[in-house]
Structures are given as C-alpha cells and as structure tokens.
Amino acid sequence: MMKFTELLKDHTVYLDGGMGTLLQEAGLAAGELPERWNLTHAAAVQEIHRAYFDAGSHVVSTNTFGANSLKFSDAELEEIIARAVENVRAAARDSVGTQQKFVALDIGPTGRMLKPLGDLDFEDAVAVFAKTVRLGVKYGVDLILIETMSDSYETKAALLAAKEQSELPVLVSCAYGADGKLMTGATPAAMVAMLEGMGADAIGVNCSLGPRALRPVVEAYLRLASVPVLLKPNAGLPRVIDGKTAYDVSPADFADEVTEMLAMGVRLAGGCCGTTPRYIEALVKRSRDIKPQPITRKDITVVSSYTHAVTFGSAPVLIGERINPTGKKRFKEALRAGDMDYILKEGITQEEQGVHILDVNVGLPELDEPRMLTDAVCALQAVTALPLQIDTSDPVAMEQALRRYNGKAMINSVSGKKESMAAVFPLAKKYGGLVVALTLDEQGIPATAEARVEIARRILAEAKKYGIDKKDLIFDPLALTVSADPVAALETLRAVELIRRELGCHTSLGVSNVSFGLPLREVITASFFTLALGRGLSAAIMNPYAREMMQAYFAYRALSALDENCADYIAFAQSQPQLTATTTPSEPSGTTVSAASELQQAVIKGRLERAAALTKELLKTEDPLAIVGQEIIPALDRVGEGFEKKTVYLPQLLMSAEAAKAAFEQIKARLASGGAAQKCAFVLATVKGDIHDIGKNIVKLLLENYGFAVTDLGRDVAPEAVVEAVVRLHAPMAGLSALMTTTVPAMEETVRQLRAHAPWCKILVGGAVLTPEYANAIGADHYARDAMEAVRYAEEIDRALGA
C-alpha cells in the first residue's frame, strides 16, 4: 500500500467532511459528548465514515475531536480512541471506493485557554495532547490531523506533542475568523512561520466560514508556505430557512469554490461544519481534472510572535538590545531581586521606541538561567506582541525558552564551533527558529571578510545535515572595535556584502561594539549602521533609546524608497523634542521652593513625565531623601487622605502613585544601590486558582511608594510558594488577595500553612469577596478594605517592628 506521504507528493488528497451535524441528525443530544458515540452508536459512526470513503475521501478522521484527558478518564479515553480507529477501519473495509484509504487521528482544541490568558499551563496542554497521540499511535492510525485550532500557543502544544510522541505525518489546520486572524490574534503569516518551523507536513485552514470567505487566508498560506496547504471550509454559514437550520452553500457551489482553490495550489481538501458526503462527492467529481500544483520552496526568512510575522528582506529589522544585564547595574539588581516588572518595562519601552524584535538576555553567573530566561520569555510574551530573540549561551536555557515561546523565535546564537553547532542545531530543528550564526570558530574571529565567509559556508553545510535550510540562518559577521583596529569596520562591512551576494543569506550585526572607546559613540555607531545597511545588512541589534540610531534608521528607509511619501520619517521627526530643548521641565523653572511644590502638584495630578523631570531638577540641589520625605510622600498622603474621604477616586489615586513611582525612579538612579532607607519586606500574592490581580497590583504600587520591599509572587500562587517566599525573606508581613468565592478556601489554606511555617508573619487579606468577619474566620490578622488601608496597616506594623 502507498504511504500517505507518497500520495501527498503528487496527488490531490481528499479529506472527509462534517461529523457533528450528521451525528445530531442521527440523534446526538445537545450537550452529549460525540466521542462516546464511538462506543454506544458504533454502527451510526461507521456509516458516516463509510459514506465519506464512498464519496472519494482518501483520509477519514476518527470521531475524536474532543477525545482528551481533560474530558475523559484514562480508561474511557483509551476505549474511545481504540474504537474510533476501528470504526474508520471498518468503514474503509466496507466502502465501495477504490481510492487509497487512510485513517487520521483527529485532534481538536482542548476547549481550555492556555496561560496567561486562561488557566491551562503550556506543559499540561502538551501532556494532554501527548496522551491522545500515544493512543492513536498504539491503535495504528496512519496520520494525525490537528484541526480547528484557534490559538497559536495551543496549536504549538498539540504539534509538539504529535512530534514527540510519533513519527507519523502531521497535518495542522487552524480556524480563522472573518478578520483573517485566529481568535487570539495570529495572522496566517505567523502561523505558517511557526508550524513550518516545527516541521508540520501540511498546514492549512478549516471551519469558521465558507470556502469563498476563507479565500484571502488560503491565498496567504499558498504565498508563504513551502509545505502542502490544506482546506476544509464550512458549507457557508448556518441560517434559519423555514424554521429549520441549513447552511447556505450548496454542494455544487461548494465544489466549484473549493476546486478554484485546488487550481490555485491547495493540495488537501475536504469540508467542515455543515458539509456531508454529498459535498465531498461533488468536490471529487468537480475537481477530477485539476492537476495538482507543485509545492515550491518560498525561501522566506521570518520570525513570528503570537500575532504576527517579521520578515527579513527589504526593510531593516531593528532588534532591541536593552534586555541584557551586561554593564547595567540597575538591570543586574532587578535580575537578582527577581523584579520581572523591570524587564517588562524595558520591553514595552523599546516597543514604543519602534523596535521589531526584542533580544532577551538574562544571564548572570549566580542565577538559575534556564528558569530566569523561561520566566522572562513567558512574562514578555504576555505583555508584548513583538517576536523575541532568545539570547543565551546555555543550551538548557535555550531549549526551555524555545519550548515555551509562542511563535518562531530568533535564536542568538550559534557559531562555527563544532560544539556550538551540535548544541544549537537540534533545538532549532525541533522547535523551529531563525538562528543567528556568528562567523567565528575554534580559532576565534578571522581578520578578513573572506575567512568569515568561509566559516559561514561551513555553518551552512553543517546546518544542512540537520535539515536546517539556509533561510533559517542569519549571519552575524561581527562588528569589532574600530578604535582598536582601523580596518575592523571595513572588513565587517565587506563580510556583510559577501554573505548577501555570494551566499544569498541575510545578515545581522550587533552594531554598538564598533564605537567602543570613542567619544560620542552613538555618532559612530549610527554611521556604521547606515553604511552596513547600504551593503545589504538586514537587521541590527541596537539601542533604540539612542536618538542617532533611530535617525539613521528612518533616514535610510526614506532614502531607500521604503517609506512612502517619507511619512514615517516625518512622523518620527515630529515626535522628537526640539534640539534646543534641554532636560529641564518645559515650564519655566523658578526657585527650588516652587519646583518643590510643583513636584507635589505633579504627583497629586498624576503627571508622570513632569514628576520625573522635576525630581531630576531638584536632585541637582536637594538631598534625595529630603525630596522623598518632604515632597513625594506628603503629596501621596494628600491623595491617600482624599481617597479615604472619598473626594479622590481610584483612577486618580493610581495616576498619582505612578507619578510618584516615576519620581522615585529618578531618586533610585541617583542613590547608590542600597542607599535608600527601606521599610520591611512584604510578600504579596493573589491566591491559587484566582487570576484577578488588578487590586493586588494597586496595593503593590502603593506599598512600594511608601518604601516597602515588596516581593510580588503574582497570581494563581500556590500556598507552598507563599510560604517559601515568606520564610526565605523572613518577611514580617504577607498580603493575600482573592476576588472569587471559589478561591477563598485557597486563601484559608495559605493562611494555615503560613501559620504553621512562618508564625511571625502578619497576614493581611483583601479582595472583593472578603469582609472583616470572613478575614477573621479564616485566621488572617487584618482585613484591608482598599489599598490605602493596606498601606496604613503595613506602616503600623513597620513602626512596631522598628520600635
């Protein structure tokens, strides 16, 4: 018998059509799980399968769309999958069709949303899919069809499980809305990049809409994909016709519309909701004479996030370099303190500056890098849609971060060293990724461009052995310091050009090195960047806060016909402060005294930038701690009192707190580390099972403003984790929040464990469902109605401790 992959090579493959609608017609009740029908109504299920084989389907999928361990016990799941496979096999035997016949294990979404949007952990999702896949393999399916996926992260989990648990061909199909995106925002380009990178055998589109409405998405797949494209549309949309529900595309129209797309290049076709064996029969007949289009390589160098793809080619790609502790004292401090918000802020600020990709490097010798990098990647992809460049020399950290990354990452980096290639290429092959390849080897960095190109060739050859195509490598020919070697920049520029011209590969440079040791570094760096772009550089790892770099970038685009009507350049220019302006506040600054009351006003009004600028100004003449004690805290107190008296409302309280925080950042930057007098440690968490953390974050912000050393454990935190942090820090106070009645038991359990392991700790609780009486009943020390009350209580405890 022909293998499925052989059939796919030069035939149009027909899949089956809808299942749910037909089961409902056969009597499946609302809310009843269709997968159980494999056991209870095997004949009815087989009959539907057989009708599809009779209609001409090569592949019929098992009735296992929702067969997973979240819905069924292990024993029942095994029985369902065993029987589901047998039902398709029996149908194949009974069918009169003479075509090749294959059984696909059908896998749909779990129905649960993955973290951070929902509560299902990524690895738990992988484990759920893995169970289903193992059973499918055990009972002998020929291939796997992952379909109707509406979230890129869950799709990754399913494909990863399929790849890890089987050698079978895997088809992956997603459900796109009328906006041409997945429910969680991914474009076709993002999905193609990720799924191809991970090695799906065919990818495509099903469900949601009729064939015609899906056409733009199908076209995007055909334009971008180097693997066969699959299409299983609905029979249009359900409409009520004469009091009965019917889909609005007829079998004949469906056949016409899908056949058009086969002619465009689609290679696997079937139907989804509302389609029946009649639709497939019509399609098979109608498209009989369509010649399968060859599958062509697209050679697109691309990375992706959960929403979009970034392609390397004509326009320069900016990779923000700021998430990196090298040479940054404040960043190192934040890393050691586990202050993720600091890292997130760097990410968001760089995004606002206009970078396209964020480099993520959190390596410090004394830290657990695999854990830190994975946490940083997960936290960043929850707050920014930019693709990430995972930057580490630790292969374990690299693998864990790549695994959790929601998209196709940029991998920084591999080199021409044998050991490096042996560590990095298997990861790139398994998880997908665009690998930054440094042109250095065991002998170091060659002086000449030609020798660097030679290393690049060797890297390309070695990558090929792992099945990594040259489009998935981007070379960094290494910018060296021009003040140390006058021809350093020239050789690098020549290497950029040679790699682009002779190898046809893209290049990326960490441009900042070039200016090391020179005054006005940014002038040199930006000029070098422009020269490199002129030689064909595709991307740069750079500092987006350096105005010269952004000027060079926008100017290059305007001069290279990459910026229509110079619109971006003009917008950039208008967003820049006037060159004559200084860092002093925009309003005329009077005496220090008036600047001080101005600072109070800025904090009270919640004017963030102004509060920061005024603080910076005041720091020239005033003692930092005096500014805190005499200006910022009194302003906060005034707002806090207003809030307690209900003359000030929550939004203003928060805006003031943020302005105060901006002022504090200036003060912190001035004070030597550890110089600020801090109040005691405070551990804060939203309890297990609860994901509502807005209230908790408000408490955190205010506590920080009032000088507490807050350790924020986040949301959905297990009791053990709270205890661990309180014991480790010997924190005198812990704050727990819960919004829902269902999570109050988790709060009670956390209190119980804290009492057992950290009897010294005062426990403050709050949240919508709590009352003072309830707080008392679960054994907490204090209930805080709002954030200000939490601050007052914490100050009281802190004073008592100090006394």
Partner 1 sequence: MESVYVKAYAAPPVDQREIWRYAGARNATAEQEALLQACLAELGEQAVFRVCYREFPLALEGDAVDLGFTKVTSPALARCLAGCGSAVVFAATVGTAIDRLITRYSAVSPARALLFDAIGTERVEALCDTFCRELATEKGSLGLCTRPRFSPGYGDLALSLQREIFGVLDCPRKIGLSLGQDLIMSPSKSVTAIVGIGNNL
Which part of the chain contacts partner 1 (CB under 8 A), choosing from 343-351, 400-408, 531-539, 794-802?
343-351
Q: How far is the CB of 52 from partner 1 (least distance, A)?
A: 21
- Asked if 765 and 783 count as a contact pair (C-beta separation under 8 A), the reply is yes
> Can residue 601 be called a binding residue for partner 1 (CB under 8 A)?
no
Written as six digits, the tokens of 294 are: 């060859």
Give yes or no for residue 651 binding partner 1 (CB under 8 A).
Answer: yes
665 touches partner 1 (CB under 8 A):
no
| DSSP 8-state assignment for residue 495 | H
Say if residues 105 and 141 touch (Cβ distance below 8 Å). Answer: yes
Please select the residue that binds partner 1; options are 487, 570, 650, 669, rule is CB under 8 A: 650
606: contact with partner 1 by CB under 8 A: yes
DSSP 3-state assignment of 104? strand
Q: State how far the alpha carbon of 666 is from the alpha carbons of 353, 655, 705, in Å.
A: 20, 17, 13
> Of 678, 742, 771, 776, which lies in the binding site for partner 1, with binding defined by CB under 8 A?
742
Q: For residue 339, give both structure tokens.
A: 């202050």
Cβ 416 to partner 1 shortest distance, Å: 39
DSSP string over 184-213: T---HHHHHHHHHHTT-SEEEEESSS-HHH
Residue from 791, 713, 802, 725 nearest 761 by CA: 725
User: Judged by CB under 8 A, which of 404, 607, 762, 782 binds partner 1?
Assistant: 607
* Binding of partner 1 by 340 (CB under 8 A): yes
Q: How far is the CB of 605 from partner 1 (least distance, A)?
A: 5
Residue 755 carries which side chain, given as an amino acid letter?
Answer: R
Minimum distance from residue 667 beta carbon to partner 1 (Å):
18
Please pick, from the candidates 640, 743, 758, 798, the single residue that binds partner 1 as defined by CB under 8 A. Answer: 743
Q: Is 693 in the site for partner 1 (CB under 8 A)?
A: yes
Radius of gyration of the chain (CA): 30
Residue 765 Cβ vs partner 1, minimum distance, rounded to whole Å: 18
CA-to-CA separations, 578 to 574, 581, 586, in angstroms, rounded: 9, 5, 11
Report the site for partner 1 in 379-398 (rule: CB under 8 A).
379, 382-385
The b/e string for 455-480 (b: 16+ C-beta within 10 A; e otherwise) is bbeebbebbeeeebebbbbbbbbbbb
Q: Shortest gap between Cβ of 110 and partner 1 (angstroms)?
A: 8
Q: Distance between the two ends of the chain, CA-based, in angstroms?
A: 85
- For position 179 contacting partner 1 by CB under 8 A, the verdict is yes
Q: What's the CA angle centered on 196, arms 387 and 161, to 5 degrees?
A: 90
587 in contact with partner 1 (CB under 8 A): no
Rule CB under 8 A: is residue 503 a binding residue for partner 1?
A: no
Query: Quick one: 23 or 357, whose CB is closer to partner 1?
Result: 23
Q: At its nearest, how many Å lie between partner 1 and the CB of residue 70?
A: 9
Using CA atoms, how far residue 484 sits from 193, 322, 478, 518, 522, in Å, is 41, 25, 14, 10, 17
Min CB(334)–partner 1 separation in Å: 12
Asked if 690 interacts with partner 1 (CB under 8 A), we say yes
Which alpha helices (H) appear in 671-771, and where do they start and end?
Answer: 694-705, 719-729, 744-757
**630 vs 143: CA distance, rounded Å:** 71
Nearer residue to partner 1 within complex by CB, 21 or 400: 21
DSSP H helical ranges for 287-368: 329-336, 340-353
Smaller CB distance to partner 1: residue 24 or 250?
A: 24
**Cα 408 to Cα 430: distance, rounded to the nearest angstrom:** 11
Alpha-carbon gap, residue 347 to 355, rounded angstroms: 10
Q: With binding defined as CB under 8 A, does residue 652 bind partner 1?
A: yes
Backbone angles phi, psi at 61, to 5 degrees: -90, 145
C-beta of 66 vs 446, nearer to partner 1: 66
C-alpha span between 716 and 718 (Å, rounded):
7
Q: How far is the CB of 378 from partner 1 (least distance, A)?
A: 11
711 binds partner 1 (CB under 8 A): no
Which string of x and - marks every residue 292-331 that binds partner 1 (by CB under 8 A)?
----------------------------------------
Binding footprint of partner 1, residue count (CB under 8 A): 61
Stretch that binds partner 1, among 135-143, 409-417, 560-568, 604-612 (CB under 8 A): 604-612
Single residue of 42, 86, 94, 184 touching partner 1 by CB under 8 A: 184
86-125 residues in contact with partner 1 (CB under 8 A) are 108-109, 111-113, 116-120
**Which of 113, 552 has the CB closer to partner 1?**
113
Three-class SS state of 654: helix
Considering the complex, state which of residue 176 and residue 425 has its C-beta at the smaller distance from partner 1. 176
Smallest gap from residue 168 Cβ to partner 1 (A): 25
Run of H or E residues at 733: strand 733-737
Q: At what angle do helices 122-138 and 74-94 cross, to 10 degrees?
A: 40
Question: DSSP 3-state assignment of 713?
Answer: coil
Instruction: Point out which residues bind partner 1 (CB under 8 A).
Output: 24, 30-31, 108-109, 111-113, 116-120, 148, 150-151, 175, 177-179, 183-185, 207, 237-238, 240, 244-245, 340-341, 344-345, 348, 379, 382-385, 605-607, 649-652, 654-655, 657-658, 689-691, 693-694, 697-698, 701, 740, 742-743
